Amino acid sequence: MEWARVLEALLFAATEPMEPSRLAAILREGPEGGQGWPEVKEQEVRDELAQLSERLAPRGLILREVAGGFRIGTAPDLSGWVAKLKGVARPPRLSPPALETMAVIAYRQPISRAEVEAVRGVDCSGTLDTLVERGVIRITGRSEAPGRPILYGTTPLFLEHFGLKDLEELPNSEELRRVKLPAPADPGGPKQEELIHEASEPAPQS
């Protein structure tokens, strides 16, 4: 493809994952003040990306499909080398409690704090704050439930951080999305009542 080198330059310079449809659109439109290839199709871009992926492999680079787009990165086996570069830092990993909260939100979004707490059995305000701060979850709205609690969902950065193409790629997603969750509003045991009380107050926004 005569536009293959444009494709690689675009992927190299992009600061976020690039969707094939957007890459095709840019190739069709052409550069600033120049001519493009008006006939480029998304499927051709996908084919070229597959070839690029193979060409990158022996070169210490990989093409990842994350968060709905494609992004060039360094090969995982070279991480020990790359980490030695100045100014290159691995994003810190999430703690086990934060990962649990993350998992509940990822599978059950949009979800309120009280609902997450009903699953985990512990106060989650701290881990929710951490996750919002890290940019992997965000407030997506308010529930219609009493007290109109704030609802959380995942962000595109969540997909990128965990190397996921989309939410469908979450392991066992079908099953975990179906599981009946302990409802925080169900007046069952003593613990549940505590949560109801909490959930009836407007949730603090971090």
Partner 1 sequence: MIPMLETPGSEALRVELAAFTGPLDLLLHLIKEQEMDIYDIRLEKLTEQYLARLDKMREENLAIAGEFLVMAATLLYLKSRTLLPVQDRPPEEVEEEDPKWELIRQLIEYRKFKEAAGQLGEREALHSRIFGRVPERVTTSPALMGPGQVSMFDLVWAFQKVLRSVEERAKAGRFSDEQFTVGQKIEFLLDRLQPGEEILFEDLFRSMSSRGEVVVTFLAMLELIRLRQLIAKQEGPLKPILIQRAVDPVLDAPSALGEGAGQASVDSPV
When binding is defined by CB under 8 A, the residue of 113, 196, 199, 203 that contacts partner 1 is 113
Task: Tell which phi-psi region holds residue 67, choosing left (phi > 0), alpha (psi between -120 and 50) or beta.
Answer: left
56 binds partner 1 (CB under 8 A): no
Judged by the rule CB under 8 A, the positions of this chain that interact with a copy of itself are 4-10, 12-16, 26, 29-34, 58-61, 72, 74-75, 78-88
Q: Which is nearer to a copy of itself, 6 or 104 (CB)?
A: 6
Q: Which is nearer to partner 1, 47 or 122 (CB)?
A: 122
d(CA 169, CA 159): 9
Residue (of 201, 166, 1) closest to 67 by Cα position: 166
Q: Which does 7 bind (CB under 5 to 8 A by kind): partner 1, a copy of itself, none?
A: a copy of itself
22 binds partner 1 (CB under 8 A): no
36 binds partner 1 (CB under 8 A): no
Q: Which residue reads 């997506």 in tokens?
A: 140
d(CA 101, CA 143): 18
How distant, in Å, are the alpha carbons of 43, 50, 104 from that of 175? 32, 31, 13
20 binds partner 1 (CB under 8 A): no
